[in-house]
Each structure stands twice: as structure tokens, then as C-alpha cells.
Amino acid sequence: MRTSIPADYHSHTHLCRHAGGRPIDYAQAAVVRGIQEIACTEHIPFPNDPFPAIRMTMAELATYFDDVREAQDSGLCTVLLGLEADYQPTLVTGHIQAILDSADFDLILGAVHSGPFWDLTPGCPTATPEFIEQMAHTYYQRMTELAQTGLYDICAHFDLLKRTGVFAPESLLAKIVPPALDAVAAADMAIEINTSGYDHGAGEAYPSLQILHWMRERDIPITFGSDAHSPSDVGRYFEDAVKLAREAGYTQRAIYRRRRRTLVPL
């Protein structure tokens, strides 16, 4: 008997300006893929955005809501309303909270995107052991702070700093990752298995199997996300991700409705 494919809780649309398709296109792709549930998680808009080419504007937020509603009304599959909200310390108590209060969201992804890891490549002179160590410390400190805000439901691409194929030593990660996971567990958040890493320099999912083991020890729930930037990305590598989750000892996954979590069999 074929195992059902988990819900895909991470997708982006044309509104973020670096993806394509509309929510209804993602719903149609999910049906073809045999996925019964997806979440639209467009990047949260920011005021006076220093990077306007990578997210929708405040004026487009209403369009986003309308587009998601169209996909929901299509009846193709279950479509949830979500956001991927960058952790920005100066905007947490004001702007981000106001956006999250503006609609009945089903789930909110918390993410850390900014950092030198984005463009750092293997063999780059900058990628010294000292630089990598400092970069990793800063990244996981931000992940800890993200969890401590209490604003988010799910951590997105938890170890994104390996995106280009520059990996921090396991001995270092063993020291700095567990405290961040403790903060996630204390905040009662889940962490997604993000499969976009298979197509990045990392060559593996976010997070790694080792981190998944640490998560399981702390009973941190999991979701699955393709981080789709095209309808064709929906559910990519999910069979591999399910195997990874089971290898780490997971037998359940989390689903969300109006930011309330339920665990279902994997």
C-alpha cells in the first residue's frame, strides 16, 4: 500500500518576485502530485523594505489574501493561509505582530534569511574556520531569539546556513545547535523538513539527519515543506524526506488549522 504524501507547508508565488505561479496553480500541481493539503506561505511584507525585489509589498497583501481564497474556493485540495515571516528584531513587537493579527492565518513560518552564509562558497578565501564558527554562532543565536518571540509556529529551513555547501564542523554544531532546539521546544514550535536543500549546494534536506535526531530527543514536531518557487516544485523529494524523518525516529507529523497544531501519523 502506497504511503500518502505529507502536506506541503512551504510555497511562494509570483508576488515575491523571485517565484512564479499563483496559489491556484500550486493547488492544481498538488492534485497531480497526490498531495491533499498545501499551505501558501508568501514572504511577509516589510515597511521601507531594503530588499523590495524578494517580497510582496504592503499594498499587495490584500491581493495575496484574494489569491489564496480563490485557491481555497476551487476545492482542488485543502489550501491553508500562511506566511513566511523573517525574524527582524526591530519589527517583532510592531509590524510583524500587526500583520499576523490582520487575518486568520493557519500557520506562520519563522525564518532567518540574512547573513554572510547566503553567498559564501566552498573554497572562498573568506570561508576560514574562524569565520564559519562566528557565522554559525550568530545564525543559531538568531534562531533562538526567533523562537523566544512566541510569534511563529514552525521554523523554516532550520540549518539554512549550509545552503551553498559550506558546512560547520559537527563538533561545533553539537555545542551550538542544541540550545537553539531547546528554545524551539520551549516555544512549542515545530520544525519543517525543507526539501529545497537537495537542489542547493547543501545537497541534503534542511535540517540534517543529526539535527533531526536532536529534535526527536526533544519531541519537536515536524512538518514538510518544498519551499516551492514554481508549481512544479510542490512535494519535491518528499519521499526522501519521509524516509529521513523515519530514520530519525519520527512516526507523526504536524498539521495546522488557525494556528492550532494536531499530530497525525506519518
Q: Above 80 in pLDDT, residue 55?
A: yes
- The grid coordinates of residue 160 equal 539554512
Residue 63's pLDDT is what?
A: 97
The Cα 11–Cα 28 span in angstroms is 13
Residue 94's pLDDT is what?
A: 85
Q: What percent of the chain has pLDDT over 70?
A: 98
Over residues 86-112, the mean pLDDT reads 90
Over residues 165-172, the mean pLDDT reads 96
Q: What is the pLDDT of residues 205-239, one digit of tens each?
A: 999 999 999 999 999 999 999 999 999 999 999 99
- CB-CB neighbours of 150 under 10 Å: 11
The DSSP code for 11 is B
Residue 4's pLDDT is what?
A: 80
Cα angle for residues 67, 76, 5 (degrees, 5° grid): 110
Distances (CA, A) of 189 to 79, 167, 201: 21, 25, 27
Residue 161's pLDDT is what?
A: 96
Instruction: Compute the Cα dihedral for 173, 174, 176, 180 and give only its sign.
Output: positive
Q: What is the pTM of this model?
A: 0.96
Over residues 164-170, the mean pLDDT reads 96
Which residue in 88, 108, 82 sits closest to 48, CA to CA? 88
Residue 220's pLDDT is what?
A: 98
Residue 11's pLDDT is what?
A: 98
Residue 47's pLDDT is what?
A: 84
Residue 91's pLDDT is what?
A: 73
Q: Above 60 in pLDDT, residue 49?
A: yes
- The grid coordinates of residue 80 equal 491553508
Beta partners for residue 42, in sequence order: 83
Residue 1's pLDDT is what?
A: 32
Q: Counting beta carbons within 10 angstroms of the beta carbon of residue 94, is it exposed (0 to 12), middle (13 to 18) or buried (19 or more)?
A: exposed
CATH code for the part of the protein at 14-265: 3.20.20.140
Q: What is the pLDDT of residues 184-197, one digit of tens each?
A: 999 999 999 999 99
Q: Above 80 in pLDDT, residue 53?
A: no
- The grid coordinates of residue 195 equal 526539501
User: Domains of the chain: which residue ranges?
Assistant: 14-265
Cell 555545542 -> residue: 175
- The grid coordinates of residue 66 equal 484574494
Q: What percent of the chain has pLDDT over 90?
A: 88
User: Do residues 157 and 192 make contact, with C-beta atoms less than 8 angstroms apart?
Assistant: yes
Q: Above 70 in pLDDT, residue 3?
A: no
CA dihedral 96, 98, 99, 101 (to 10 degrees): 120
Q: Above 90 in pLDDT, residue 26?
A: yes
Host H or E run for residue 146: helix 129-149
